[in-house]
């Protein structure tokens, strides 16, 4: 199999035939041929891709039955990642694991020509679940899934790919908001803001915002081009503690279910004390918060600065409230001795830097260059008299974590 990073979905037989016809037109066969253009001789070098014979042979396998309860558009959708070269090429430029976690806990594998995202574990020797590439490239999900995410999937009784990507965006945004406010995200506090309406013919489950209390706008009005990008996440021996309970059962549904949970107007009385604290805190925000912008914070070098920027765009009231609540909750966390509460001073996930590298961006302090936190906040809030510095610059608020002076490289994608 070729190690080239270029992507093609055609089979080797098609590629070979195409190249042969080109060779015929150019007067020769092989990887190199001499041609004359405008009186100048030049050599044309081409590479013929070859997919493994076993991957080509799978096209002749019979389709799997027993999934009539799934909507046709789900069970008929094949995956681009039936070709191992496409999966390997994509994995080479997309982080999928949390920083510091060994990649040996799972094996990311292609699907066969007859596998479908709704299929179960039939014939599998190791437990696995499917994930979409958009989970990682657009929504910045990372493996292993955290307790909050697994708890939501368990409460909804759905597999990861059964929850619509737009709803995954709500989940990711809720999580980053809670962490930025020193709150612990909980499944039922999250689900309090949504209803679900499972369909009789099972398809992707969407979370429906409750109009009177919803605080997040939609990530996308129509999330497209995700359905054919699924692959297998196979749980290895070292990863069992992350995904399986002590008795060997899974911590969330690994396969699609025909009975997702139905939620309708969840009452406050159904929430625990911890859930009520989270819900009450988020209900204080007045204007809708930008889900797409806040999801991108996962790929930010310094999340809090970007969160404040998105808060400012959604309304000055939201920004002022966020800063006030963050200072208040930071003091509470410190008083309670909670050392494990994330402060979001550093990037939440591994930052993908333009140029094909997969590493955390290194931004050491460089005196005299870049913009410091004070200047960024001053740009967001404007200057005020009295409370600012002698130059009129808005000073940082007490109790918040301050970052050193930084210089942000222009080629970092947000």
Per-residue pLDDT tens over the stretch 156-209? 999 999 999 999 999 999 999 999 999 999 999 999 999 999 998 999 999 999
Q: Given the DSSP bridges, would you call strands 230-235 and 352-353 parallel, antiparallel or unpaired?
A: unpaired
**Residues 344, 269 share a domain:** no
Last residue within a domain, chosen from 263, 283, 303: 283
Residue 364 lies in a domain: yes
**What pLDDT, on a 0 to 100 scale, did the predictor assign at position 335?**
87
**Residues 411, 325 share a domain:** yes
pLDDT band at 42 (very low <50, low <70, confident <90, very high): low
**What pLDDT, on a 0 to 100 scale, did the predictor assign at position 51?**
74
Average pLDDT over residues 287-299: 93
Peptide bond into 144 cis (omega under 30): yes
To the question of pTM greater than 0.85 for the whole model, the response is no
Coil, helix or strand for 209?
A: strand
pLDDT band at 360 (very low <50, low <70, confident <90, very high): very low
**Residues 378, 237 share a domain:** no
Residue 59 lies in a domain: no
Q: Are 321 and 176 in contact (CB under 8 A)?
A: no
Angle at 82 between CA 58 and CA 224, to 5 degrees: 135
Residue 56 lies in a domain: no
Residue 64 lies in a domain: no
Residue 245 has pLDDT above 70, yes or no: yes
**What pLDDT, on a 0 to 100 scale, did the predictor assign at position 133?**
96
Domain count for the chain: 3
**Residues 382, 338 share a domain:** yes
Q: What is the pLDDT of residues 85-98, one digit of tens each?
A: 999 999 999 999 99
Burial 59-81 (b: 16+ CB within 10 A, else e): eeeeebeebeebbeebbeebbbb
Q: Who contacts 355 (Cβ-Cβ below 8 Å, separation ≥6)? A: 411
Residue 144 lies in a domain: yes
Q: Are 301 and 363 in contact (CB under 8 A)?
A: yes
**What pLDDT, on a 0 to 100 scale, did the predictor assign at position 340?**
63
**Residues 126, 210 share a domain:** yes
**Residues 259, 135 share a domain:** yes
Q: Are 250 and 241 in contact (CB under 8 A)?
A: no
**Residues 304, 275 share a domain:** no
Q: What is the pLDDT of residues 149-170, one digit of tens each?
A: 999 999 999 999 999 999 999 9
Nearest to 148 by CA among 197, 188, 121: 188
Q: What is the mean pLDDT of the chain?
A: 79
Residue 130 lies in a domain: yes
**CA 13 to each of CA 19, 32, 54, 197: distance values in angstroms, whole numbers, following the listed order:** 10, 19, 13, 45
**Residues 233, 275 share a domain:** yes
Residue 58 lies in a domain: no
Q: Which domain holds residue 107?
A: 70-283
Q: How many Å apart are CA 31 and CA 222, to the nearest integer?
A: 44
Last residue within a domain, chosen from 258, 283, 308: 283
Residue 158 lies in a domain: yes
Nearest to 256 by CA among 321, 205, 193, 206: 205
pLDDT band at 10 (very low <50, low <70, confident <90, very high): very low
Average pLDDT over residues 228-256: 97
Q: Are 55 and 82 in contact (CB under 8 A)?
A: yes
**Residues 178, 120 share a domain:** yes
Q: How many other CB atoms sit within 10 Å of the CB of residue 39?
A: 5
**Residues 307, 246 share a domain:** no
**Residues 232, 375 share a domain:** no
**Residues 347, 274 share a domain:** no
């Amino acid at each position: 199999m070729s190690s080239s990073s270029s992507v093609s979905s055609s089979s080797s037989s098609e590629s070979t035939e195409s190249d042969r016809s080109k060779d015929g037109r150019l007067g020769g066969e092989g990887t190199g041929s001499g041609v004359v253009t405008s009186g100048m001789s030049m050599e044309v070098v081409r590479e013929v891709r070859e997919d493994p014979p076993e991957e080509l042979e799978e096209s002749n396998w019979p389709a799997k039955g027993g999934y009539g309860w799934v909507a046709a558009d789900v069970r008929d959708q094949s995956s681009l990642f039936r070709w191992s070269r496409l999966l390997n090429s994509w994995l080479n430029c997309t982080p999928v694991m949390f920083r510091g976690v060994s990649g040996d806990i799972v094996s990311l594998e292609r699907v066969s020509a007859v596998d479908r995202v709704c299929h179960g574990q039939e014939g599998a020797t190791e437990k696995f679940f499917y994930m979409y590439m958009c989970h990682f490239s657009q929504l910045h999900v990372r493996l292993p899934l955290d307790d909050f995410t697994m708890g939501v999937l368990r409460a909804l009784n759905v597999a990861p790919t059964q929850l619509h990507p737009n709803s995954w965006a709500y989940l990711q945004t809720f999580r980053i908001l809670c962490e930025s406010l020193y709150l612990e995200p909980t499944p039922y506090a999250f689900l309090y803001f949504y209803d679900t309406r499972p369909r009789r013919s099972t398809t992707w489950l969407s979370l429906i915002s409750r109009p009177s209390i919803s605080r997040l706008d939609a990530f996308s009005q129509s999330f497209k081009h995700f359905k054919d990008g699924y692959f297998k996440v196979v749980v290895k021996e070292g990863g069992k503690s992350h995904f399986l309970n002590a008795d060997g059962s899974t911590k969330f549904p690994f396969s699609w279910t025909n009975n997702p949970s139905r939620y309708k107007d969840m009452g406050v009385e159904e929430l625990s004390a911890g859930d009520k604290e989270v819900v009450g805190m988020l209900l204080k925000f007045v204007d809708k918060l930008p889900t797409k912008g806040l999801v991108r914070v996962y790929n930010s070098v310094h999340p809090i600065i970007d969160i404040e920027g998105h808060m400012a765009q959604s309304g000055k009231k939201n920004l002022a409230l966020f800063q006030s609540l963050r200072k208040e909750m930071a003091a509470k966390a410190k008083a309670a001795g909670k050392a494990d509460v994330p402060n979001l001073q550093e990037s939440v996930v591994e930052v993908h830097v333009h140029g094909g590298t997969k590493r955390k961006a290194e931004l050491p302090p460089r005196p005299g260059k870049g913009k410091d936190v004070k200047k960024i906040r001053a740009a967001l809030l404007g200057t005020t008299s009295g409370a600012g510095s002698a130059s009129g610059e808005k000073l940082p608020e007490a109790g918040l974590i301050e970052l050193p002076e930084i210089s942000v490289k222009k080629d970092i994608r947000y």
